[in-house]
């Protein structure tokens, strides 16, 4: 095989970088049996926090031995209080909801200690290059393209027991993907959202120090 086909593939790889800033206020211990829920903010008109990111965070934190309530299960059980148009935007809002006896009782049954809101998204910010493909059979494609993706997520940890904001974590990630095409286009993708999830999930997990049972995972 002509080596010219291998040169661009060896030199060009999708790459990404992650930056994390953390603010912690006081102790964030997690006692045995206490649970966490992670919810994505989706009240903005121009974007929503991807469900795929929330699923990834849930799995990452459950793998660390934390007791995590799945987002969709929580939304279904507490419908419509956490839908985009009705979800509380601050601690006074959630405290007002918890003032309703039936709602407070259901949260108590879940042994819910921390509610984590994640707000942000991943988007393509720029692209360059072009690829053209012949319309005739066997014509193939020729060209080169690249694009930049950026992710930005702000997570806020509400301690429902102490009724305080326990901390905030801001995660940003960026990466460049490439699409060389010599006969066949071959995408070399930067996993920006996945890297943001990995960084944020690990950092969130470090916020909590489980006491008692060593491992819980996702609740059923």
pLDDT of residue 7: 32
pLDDT of residue 8: 38
pLDDT of residue 25: 84
pLDDT of residue 215: 44
> Which domains are seen in the chain, by residue range?
3-211 (3.40.50)
pLDDT of residue 156: 97
pLDDT of residue 13: 46
pLDDT of residue 211: 46
pLDDT of residue 47: 84
DSSP collapsed to 3 states, the chain? CCHHHCHHHHHCCCEEEEEEEEEECCCCCECCCCEEEEEECCCCCCCCCCHHHHHHHHHHHHHCCCEEECHHHHHHHCCCCCCCCCCCCCHHHHHHHHCCHHHHHHHHHCCEEEEEEEEEEEEEEEEEEEEEECCCCCCCEEEEEEEEEEEEEEEEEEECCCCEEEEEEEEEEEEEEEEEEEEEECCECCCHHHHHHHHHHHHHHHHCCECCCCCCEECC
Residues of the chain with confidence (pLDDT) below 50: 1-13, 210-216
């Amino acid at each position: 095989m002509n080596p010219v086909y291998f040169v661009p593939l060896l030199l060009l790889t999708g790459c990404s970088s992650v930056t994390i800033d953390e603010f912690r206020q006081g102790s964030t211990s997690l006692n045995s049996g206490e649970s966490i829920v992670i919810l994505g903010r989706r009240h903005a008109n121009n974007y929503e926090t991807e469900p795929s990111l929330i699923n990834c965070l849930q799995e990452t934190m459950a793998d660390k031995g934390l007791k995590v309530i799945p987002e969709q299960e929580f939304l279904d059980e507490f419908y419509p209080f956490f839908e985009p148009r009705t979800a509380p935007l601050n601690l006074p809002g959630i405290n007002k909801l918890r003032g309703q006896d039936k709602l407070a009782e259901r949260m108590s049954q879940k042994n819910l200690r921390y509610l984590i809101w994640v707000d942000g998204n991943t988007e393509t910010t720029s692209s360059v290059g072009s690829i053209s493909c012949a319309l005739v059979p066997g014509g193939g494609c020729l060209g080169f393209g690249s694009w930049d993706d950026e992710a930005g997520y702000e997570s806020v940890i509400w301690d429902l027991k102490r009724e305080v904001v326990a901390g905030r974590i801001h995660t940003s990630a960026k990466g460049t993907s490439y699409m060389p095409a010599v006969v066949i286009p071959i995408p070399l993708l930067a996993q920006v959202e996945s890297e943001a999830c990995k960084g944020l999930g690990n950092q969130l997990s470090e916020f909590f120090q489980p006491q008692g049972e060593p491992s819980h995972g996702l609740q059923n």
